[in-house]
Amino acid sequence: MTFTKAARLALLLAIPGLVLTGCGRKGDLDRPGAATSINTKAPAGTAEPKETIEDRPFLLDPLL
């Protein structure tokens, strides 16, 4: 196998991986193991209600 064929194959295999890396769920950033999310907008000791996000099915959900 020549270098150009190997480079094309590597590129062909890398593209789906890069595309699937962008798949995810949008939401607040939480610390690992934290029960509540970090919110700097609300003063300490008060809880700000979270917006509910509609759970829409995704094509790859059965794989997870």
CA distance 51 to 10: 42
Residue that the structure tokens 């979270």 belong to: 50
Q: Is the pLDDT confidence value at 2 over 80?
A: yes
Q: Are 29 and 38 in contact (CB under 8 A)?
A: yes
Question: Looking at per-residue confidence, does 30 or 7 come out higher?
Answer: 7
pLDDT in tens, 16-57: 888 887 666 666 666 666 555 555 565 666 666 677 778 888
